[in-house]
A = this chain, B = another copy of it.
């Protein structure tokens, strides 16, 4: 029996490892088109910012260890260029030698991940136009900027990566930074706190207009024109306007996809027998929206990969429970998180949806507080069902409270049940009424 895995990152390697644990005799080969495997791509902004000292640190397990300890050969710089699901063969390009060869498989795992979205008009090859997706991208950024006396930059895209990168650029000494997007991660009142934090850190905000064009002025200078006519100039431009599934090689195949994202069942089977898919190339089931969505995040990729491997290895496994849309990120000294659905999504689902928004101290009033945290709660005014939350906080502790909301969502709790939780209290940790309880009590008042 031969298992071929396309993709040597979180999902692919979780799958390979779990399959190996179940089947020591299985022939497993992993093909990875880049030069790196098993690296924490979420850590790239912190590698650029200098918090992670070197790119080696980002690698969880080495290629060597995969071979020696798990008997899993991984071929880097090997790009799978096509798959024939009928004959069960993959075509592979050895990038270094530029030779193509074929491999047959009994079982295939597609874990090709995602790739940065590029609007056609922004697809400019220029040494100072950056994307951030791989270690090579990160090294390009570091090499282009550190010690090069670059004064200014423009970040296009106010998503997780764009926001995290503003901090990273700031940490390596770039003082004149502009953020451009039509909107940011949060559409609610929570976004004001993000904007305030960015402004506090000297970031210029150009929110509300799309980019029309990026033009090179020289090898070291670029011009960005917005659709509202604004002209910006800077020493570099980062484009981080989202990612799309990296599934182009399947676009003319019978593989079932939605907008390029592979659709699987809850055991990560695709519509094609013996073909699994996992990670950022897949849709995930959203437990509240009750449909497949494209939210490519690392925890789900790891969980999906493990499920695939357990199925192949014939080990007991849960079906994939799906996601709640939980996410967390840092914007300078503001810590933000979300889970569940937004007010608009709740209305679209037919809920009698409402929200509350509070600002509250994070600790006892007499204990040193860094500032207030904010909580937005979305709920159904009819059933009192809790539906979603957003948090902004001056501390990681405040934002990590999102996990309590996520747990409450999993348990299908009503606002009343959240207000009755027995949450922990001591002055260095919370006020006597934890902000979660305060928010739930405010929501209860609104329900009356």
Interface of A with B (CB < 8 Å)? 10, 40, 42-43, 46-47, 51-52, 57-58, 60, 160, 287, 297-300, 302, 316, 318, 321-330, 335, 337, 339, 364-368, 395-397, 399-404, 406-411, 413, 416-417, 419-430, 432-434, 436, 448
Contact = CB atoms under 8 A, between A and B. Distances in A.
A114 to B, nearest CB: 16
Which of A323, A396, A407, A420 has its CB near the most chain B CB atoms (within 10 A)? A407
Given A52-B366, A326-B422, A425-B297, A403 B406 contact: no
A69 B409 CA distance: 39
A438 to B, nearest CB: 11
B57 A299 contact: no
A42 B366 CA distance: 10
Given A40-B432, A299-B433, A330-B426, 14 more contacts: A40-B364, A42-B426, A42-B432, A47-B366, A302-B433, A399-B424, A399-B429, A401-B403, A403-B424, A403-B436, A406-B421, A408-B411, A411-B411, A411-B413
A10 B432 CA distance: 10
Contacts of A423: 299, 326, 403, 406
Nearest to A365: B60
A432 B51 contact: no
Contacts of A399: 424, 429
Contacts of A337: 424
* Copies of this chain in the oligomer: 2
Nearest to A10: B432
Nearest to A56: B366
B411 A327 contact: no
Contacts of A406: 421-424
A133 to B, nearest CB: 16
5 contacts: A43-B366, A46-B427, A298-B425, A299-B432, A328-B430
Q: Which 6 A-B pairs have the closest CB atoms?
A: A411-B411, A328-B424, A321-B420, A57-B366, A324-B422, A407-B407
A400 B323 contact: no
A409 B421 CA distance: 9
A427 B42 contact: yes
A160 B425 CA distance: 12
Contacts of A366: 40, 43, 46-47, 52, 57-58
A443 to B, nearest CB: 14
A324 B406 CA distance: 19
A134 B63 CA distance: 61
